[in-house]
């Protein structure tokens, strides 16, 4: 045996030792590498599951929105599977829904939906979404009108303004002014005599025609004029008065006051959530009054025309009632679950020297649904305020016919709410100087919305009557959380707030 062979035999145990050592190291390295790769793959899968869980939660949100807008909410499940797009539609995860509804007078005002989503592969990885659903009400606009209108140069509009008719805006607008008209016939009562041709108007067949929205001053912002736009379906956005009457008089929700048997009712709101109510036993009739019918101005003692509601000896009779004698009915608590109040008669709201303060969400209706062709009116006589401006309070006053500011109104008047004149107009009648100093008032501030079938007006001529200064603001708190029965401008619920929660 040579020396090399002897050496190799002597080193055999050492070689085996090295093989075992380095083999073990290699296996440890490979095991760590495979573990690292496996961990990375798991983390990647978890990240994918994290993303998919959010998608699944959103699928639950979209599913329930579909249920609400198709009026099948009661049949919709609060748990469901999210499936892939394979031919068999294999389930990849699930969502679970929690629903909290804001309901007033049986109406869904808002819905808060919490949707939790997870995958089947990693059910412990969950994503949660909190979404608020609501519909946009008429409170999105400062004004929605169904007629032509002339906005005077001392009126500031701070909110969207729409008319199905034409708009002459000589005041200040801080938001869009939209009209459904391309052109409209601008008559003398809108200051179009002579025809303001330098402002885009023209004469055709002896009639002055003006753009859908136009101005004759430098006060307004024409860059915010938009016309023609689709018209509002005024029949669609007006209120079902019979439904409110049934709810209050038959179902026992809210408050119902039947025909007074006299001249109507008088109500004042108290900051503790109650109302004081009187029956109006007698009124004084104010004469030498002008009012608005559609877009026409009708005055006492004018020659009779189809627009006159009453005629005597060939002349129009236009009068305005003010309270003379009233008798207290008492103090009533407005129900928290349904703030609807229905008066089957004319209604006076507030007093010149006493502010009405509204607590909670309240809807007041004045309508005569007993007598055919009933035309109940509302007269606003005092300031209207809320107990808080955080959106918890809101008022809607719905008049079957006119929604008017009365003769004996404050010199500086502030009213908050949504004011609807269903078949008549919102405004203030013309009073002659014989009613000094009340025929002229100083400042009117409206925080909310006006919906009027007829032309609106709170100042007459070059301040011959009415309010000198007017400011109108829309109330964003009431757009998606308005009092019950306020009309919606969109039929479907939509997402107005989306947040991911823990």
**Do 253 and 129 belong together in one domain?**
no
3 state DSSP class of 468: strand
- Judged by average pLDDT, the poorest of 59-68, 76-85, 428-437 is 76-85
Rounded Cα–Cα distance for residues 247 and 37 (Å): 67
3 state DSSP class of 457: strand
- The DSSP output letter for 48 is H
- Do the domain assignments include residue 436? yes
Rounded Cα–Cα distance for residues 137 and 481 (Å): 8
pLDDT, mean of residues 248-276: 97
More confident residue, 403 or 108: 403
Which domain, by its residues, includes 102? 43-137+495-501
**Do 400 and 266 belong together in one domain?**
yes
**Do 325 and 439 belong together in one domain?**
yes
Task: Band the pLDDT of 88: cuts 50, 70, 90.
Answer: very low
Rounded Cα–Cα distance for residues 227 and 105 (Å): 38
CA dihedral over 424, 428, 433, 436, signed as positive or negative:
positive
Beta strands in 176-250 (DSSP E): 177-179, 183-185, 202-204, 207-211, 213-214, 225-226
Rounded Cα–Cα distance for residues 30 and 33 (Å): 5
- Do the domain assignments include residue 211? no
- In tens, the pLDDT along 341-358 reads 999 999 999 999 999 999
Rounded Cα–Cα distance for residues 137 and 115 (Å): 26
- Do the domain assignments include residue 113? yes
More confident residue, 85 or 62: 62
- Do the domain assignments include residue 197? no
Task: Please state the domain count of the chain.
Answer: 2
Rounded Cα–Cα distance for residues 172 and 170 (Å): 7
- Percent of the chain residues topping a pLDDT of 70: 90
**Do 132 and 277 belong together in one domain?**
no
**Do 245 and 370 belong together in one domain?**
yes
- Do the domain assignments include residue 145? no
From 236, 137, 237, 242, select the one nearest 484 (Cα to Cα): 137
Q: In this structure, are residues 460 and 219 in contact, taking their beta carbons and an 8 Å threshold?
A: no
**Do 132 and 249 belong together in one domain?**
no
For residue 34, the model assigns a pLDDT of: 64
Taking 50 as the threshold, does the pLDDT of residue 85 lie above it?
no
Token pair 């009124």 is at which residue?
283
Tokens of 72: 């099948």
- In tens, the pLDDT along 8-54 reads 565 556 666 666 666 677 666 666 666 555 555 555 666 777 888 88
**Do 289 and 413 belong together in one domain?**
yes
Token pair 């100093």 is at which residue?
437
- Do the domain assignments include residue 196? no
- Do the domain assignments include residue 357? yes
- Do the domain assignments include residue 391? yes
pLDDT, mean over the chain? 90
| pTM of the shown model | 0.88
**Do 248 and 386 belong together in one domain?**
yes
Rounded Cα–Cα distance for residues 474 and 338 (Å): 24
Count of C-beta atoms within a 10 Å radius of residue 345: 22
In whole angstroms, how far apart are CA 376 and each of 4, 244, 293, 402?
125, 15, 15, 7
pLDDT, mean of residues 91-112: 90
Taking 80 as the threshold, does the pLDDT of residue 369 lie above it?
yes
**Do 130 and 242 belong together in one domain?**
no
- Judged by average pLDDT, the poorest of 73-77, 294-298, 345-349, 463-467 is 73-77
At 65, phi and psi to the nearest 5? Answer: -60, -40
pLDDT, mean of residues 205-228: 97
Residue 111: CATH number of its domain: 3.30.1300
For residue 212, the model assigns a pLDDT of: 98
Q: In this structure, are residues 278 and 327 in contact, taking their beta carbons and an 8 Å threshold?
A: yes
Q: In this structure, are residues 149 and 165 in contact, taking their beta carbons and an 8 Å threshold?
A: yes
For residue 404, the model assigns a pLDDT of: 98
3-state secondary structure 384-423: EEECCCCCCCEEEEEECCCEEECCCCCCEEEEEEEEEECC
In whole angstroms, how far apart are CA 149 and each of 165, 189, 291, 404?
7, 10, 14, 16
For residue 412, the model assigns a pLDDT of: 98
Rounded Cα–Cα distance for residues 332 and 276 (Å): 6
Count of C-beta atoms within a 10 Å radius of residue 215: 23
Taking 60 as the threshold, does the pLDDT of residue 417 lie above it?
yes
């Amino acid at each position: 045996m040579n020396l090399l062979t002897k050496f190799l035999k002597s080193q055999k145990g050492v070689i085996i030792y090295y093989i075992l050592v380095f083999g073990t190291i290699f296996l440890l390295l490979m095991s760590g590498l495979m573990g690292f790769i496996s961990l990375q793959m798991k983390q990647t899968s978890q990240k994918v599951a994290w993303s998919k869980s959010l998608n699944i939660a959103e699928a639950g949100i979209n599913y329930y929105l579909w249920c609400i807008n198709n009026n099948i909410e009661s049949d919709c499940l609060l748990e469901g599977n999210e499936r892939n797009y394979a031919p068999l539609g294999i389930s990849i995860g699930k969502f679970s829904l929690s629903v909290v509804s804001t309901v007033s007078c049986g109406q869904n005002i808002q819905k808060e939906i919490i949707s939790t989503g997870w995958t089947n592969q990693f059910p412990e990885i969950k994503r949660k979404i909190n979404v608020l659903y609501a519909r946009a009400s008429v409170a999105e606009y400062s004004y929605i009108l169904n007629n032509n209108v002339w906005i005077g140069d001392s009126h500031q509009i701070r909110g969207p303004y729409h008319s199905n008719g034409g708009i002459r805006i000589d005041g200040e607008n801080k938001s869009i002014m939209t009209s459904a008209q391309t052109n409209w016939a601008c008559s003398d009562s809108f200051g179009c005599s002579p025809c303001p041709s330098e402002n885009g108007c023209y004469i055709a067949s002896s009639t002055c025609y003006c753009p859908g929205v136009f101005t004759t001053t430098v006060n307004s912002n024409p860059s915010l004029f938009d016309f023609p736009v689709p018209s509002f379906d005024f029949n669609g956005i007006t209120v079902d008065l019979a439904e409110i009457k049934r709810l209050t008089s038959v179902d026992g929700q809210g408050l119902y006051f039947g025909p007074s048997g006299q001249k109507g009712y008088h109500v004042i709101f108290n900051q503790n959530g109650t109302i004081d109510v009187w029956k109006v036993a007698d009124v004084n009739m104010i004469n030498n009054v002008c009012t608005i019918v559609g877009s026409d101005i009708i005055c006492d003692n004018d020659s009779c025309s189809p627009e006159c509601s009453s005629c005597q000896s060939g002349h129009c009779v236009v009068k305005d009632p003010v309270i003379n004698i009233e008798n207290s009915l008492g103090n009533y608590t407005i129900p928290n679950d349904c703030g609807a109040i229905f008066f089957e008669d004319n209604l006076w709201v507030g007093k010149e020297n006493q502010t009405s303060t509204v607590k909670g969400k309240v809807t007041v209706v004045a309508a005569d649904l007993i007598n055919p062709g009933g035309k109940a009116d509302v007269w606003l006589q005092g300031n209207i305020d809320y107990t808080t401006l955080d959106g918890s309070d809101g008022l809607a006053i719905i008049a079957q016919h006119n929604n008017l500011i009365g003769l004996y109104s404050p010199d500086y008047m502030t009213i908050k709410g949504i004011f609807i004149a269903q078949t008549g107009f919102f405004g203030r009648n013309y009073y002659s100087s014989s009613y000094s100093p009340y025929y002229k008032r100083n400042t009117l501030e409206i925080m909310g919305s006006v919906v009027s079938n007829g032309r609106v007006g709170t100042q007459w001529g070059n301040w011959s009557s009415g309010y000198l200064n007017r400011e109108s603001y829309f109330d964003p708190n009431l757009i998606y959380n308005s009092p019950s029965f306020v009309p919606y401008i969109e039929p479907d619920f939509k997402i107005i707030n989306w947040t991911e929660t823990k």
